[in-house]
Amino acid sequence: MSIKKHIYIALLLILILGGCGKSLPNDSVRITNQGEIIGVEREDDTYAWLGIPFAEPPVGDLRWKAPIQPQKFGSRFEASKFSEVCFQREGIMTGNVGGWVGSEDCLYLNVWSPAWSPEQLKEKNVPVMMWIHGGGNTIGSADTYYPTDLVSQHEVIVVTVQYRMSNLGWFRHPALRQGNSSIEDSSGNFGTLDNVMALKWIKENIGYFGGDANNVTIFGESAGGHNVAALYASPIATGLFHKAIVQSGIVSHSLIEDAESYYPEDGTSDIQSSKEVINRLLINDEKANDINGAKNLQDSMSLQELEVYLRSKKSEELLTAYFEARPKKGGMTRVFNDGHVMGEKGIYESFTNNNMPRVPIILGTNRYETKLFNMRNPEFVKWGEGEGVVATALSWAGITELPLEIPRPDFYNAVNQYSSDSWKQRAADSPARDLIASSQYDTFVYRFDWDELPTVQGLDFGLLLGSAHAMELLFLFPAGLDNTLVKNLVVEDSDSVKKLSDQMMSYWAHFAYTGNPGKGRSKDLPQWNSWSENTKYMILDSENDQGLIMVNSEVTIDSMMEDLREDTRMTKDEKCQTLFSLSYGGDIPEKSFNGFEAGYCLSLDYSDILKMIERTGEDNEQES
């Protein structure tokens, strides 16, 4: 079985969030700066306006340019269907591995609001929440997320947005900043600029929908969380939003030097380099036989020739080369520290510099983030042919194998504990500690712990996938909870799941209203305090387990090292292998690895671990 198909099962469990369209009611007509627009009636007494252009299509001469204002509508715009997704690898729901889907013409957003009549609308000025989807900044779309529950229960407006991805979204090369290129064109941060443009659209238009342009919360998960953090730190986004929620986000950036330099001899780099992408294009076009030949040819070409060459390439050619150019140690596609869209010191400066404009923020991760990725590793989980009702239900997606056994459950939990704790330390605890230390006291942290999945064909899916990366999305966008597949594979106790979902949406909405999750909109939930010396973060779990509880622990490098020393679930060699994996990716300092167990780890051979890391990295980059 292709390891790629393993991801489908996990994502099918998490992201079946859909709904269906209805009529075009006259009460949904709104007059915007672009002209008259009519929406559709949705579930739970809500309206949605789908596929609204917030920028001109970034095609032709506008590829690799900052987005520009869209043209006005020539007549009433029927916002009744989603736009095409931004160009990407084809994946979930289709099973067409290796194919392509979407378009470069994809800068559209969707607005969801309560179904207010024109008379009611005159009295409304409610908080706005802009959702930025995840997917490694290489896959994903706005149409996956249906926020009708959040909108109808808490009277907020939710805007879901799309943005350019992969090397259409983040790409720097000298050939692309010639002539009339603006400072934003030259940044290479086109995906970030798309999100800024969406915020500008909200500022100019959301009042026509009953939204408060002076009370905008940005929130997103995974790569979407990274993009929220990038906006939080971006000088050009200041004033366009007023609160931020970073869910399982990556809060680091890519260096502009790495973005447009050849890889060193060992092939390691932080990001796919534009020069290495061009090398792959030249090889794929049979203009060069190998990397050295491509490099020599590229070096002989003028910037003008390179620009013409790049702009002549089809979307699929560019993305094929992008994925083929993945370096060793390459990370997620991220924002560049260009000095304009993002400061030269990157995202993290916004957590330490109290001279920067900052707003209330929630940071959080899931208890076992990395189970979504490690469940696919045959070293940890055995896979085989499925059978019965579940296998039949999944077969339509091309999934013929299922997880059958976790040979060492304690070891599996241990491996995921340290990699997930490292994620929490970098994405939540350290930023929160630094924010508070620099006087940003409206800083709140959570850990999502829900893991009450059923046993499927003898395997405990709670152990396999519980509280994994992206699992919290089903609770914030619960439109899919009644889906038959979700009921069979995800939800055991629907009442407790529904209650936790309601509680989380209540906290999120109250934060959007006030900048403090407090006791939720219902004002009857446990008090969610800001990070402090006395209480650190809120655990989000169902009443069948821990429930909602504030705790005072935090993850640090020292605490992880101490836990690992005392862990009885691993041998000493396995502890070293775990540390090696974390240090290889830069998640822990090299000195922590070198000094562990008096230097014992330095004596071991990690060639097999390296092969596994590099193989897994390639799969994760492809699947994001």
Splitting the chain (624 residues) into consecutive groups of 10 residues, what average pLDDT does each group show? 42 49 85 97 94 98 97 96 96 63 98 96 97 96 96 98 98 93 96 98 98 98 98 98 98 96 93 97 98 98 97 98 94 96 97 97 98 93 80 64 93 97 98 98 98 90 96 93 70 88 98 98 97 97 97 97 97 96 89 94 93 66 38
Residues 6+ apart with CB under 8 A from 20: none
Name which of 147, 131, 129 is nearest 44 in CA terms. Answer: 147
Q: Coil, helix or strand for 226?
A: helix
Q: Coil, helix or strand for 218?
A: strand
The DSSP symbol for 290 reads S
Helical packing angle, 607-623 and 572-584, nearest 10°? 50
Distance CA 343, CA 335 (A): 10
Residues 6+ apart with CB under 8 A from 209: 30, 49, 111, 113, 121, 157
Q: Coil, helix or strand for 448?
A: strand
Q: Are residues 47 and 112 in contact, defined by beta-carbon separation less than 8 angstroms? A: yes
Name which of 238, 323, 311 is nearest 65 in CA terms. Answer: 311
Q: Coil, helix or strand for 585?
A: coil
Q: Are residues 336 and 170 in contact, defined by beta-carbon separation less than 8 angstroms? A: yes
Count the residues in the chain: 624
The CATH H-level superfamily of 24-247 is Alpha/Beta hydrolase fold, catalytic domain (3.40.50.1820)
Sheet containing 30-32, strands listed edge to edge, beginning at the edge strand earlier in sequence: 30-32, 35-38, 77-78
Longest dimension (CA), the chain: 75
Domain limits of the chain? 24-247, 273-324, 558-623
Residues 6+ apart with CB under 8 A from 321: 167, 277, 278, 280, 281, 284
Distance CA 480, CA 448 (A): 19
Q: Are residues 9 and 469 in contact, defined by beta-carbon separation less than 8 angstroms? A: no
Partners of 384 in the β-ladder: 402
Q: Are residues 271 and 259 in contact, defined by beta-carbon separation less than 8 angstroms? A: yes
Estimate to the nearest angstrom the gap between the alpha carbon of 199 and the chain centroid: 18
Residue 581, Cβ density class (10 Å: 0-12 exposed, 13-18 middle, ≥19 buried): buried
What's at 390, amino acid-wise? V
What's at 175, amino acid-wise? A
Name which of 220, 218, 226 is nearest 271 in CA terms. Answer: 226
Three-point CA angle 70, 73, 74, nearest 5°: 135
Give Rg (Cα) of the chain. 24
What's at 241, amino acid-wise? F
The two three-digit tokens of residue 518, written as one number: 């407090």
At 540 the pLDDT is 98
The two three-digit tokens of residue 460, written as one number: 């405990």
Distance CA 469, CA 95 (A): 21
At 622 the pLDDT is 37
Instruction: Label the pairing between strands 443-448 and 537-540.
Output: parallel
Residue 448, Cβ density class (10 Å: 0-12 exposed, 13-18 middle, ≥19 buried): buried
Q: Are residues 190 and 171 in contact, defined by beta-carbon separation less than 8 angstroms? A: yes
The two three-digit tokens of residue 548, written as one number: 């909602």
Name which of 468, 504, 407, 616 is nearest 9 in CA terms. Answer: 468
Q: What are phi and psi of 42, to 5 degrees?
A: -120, -170
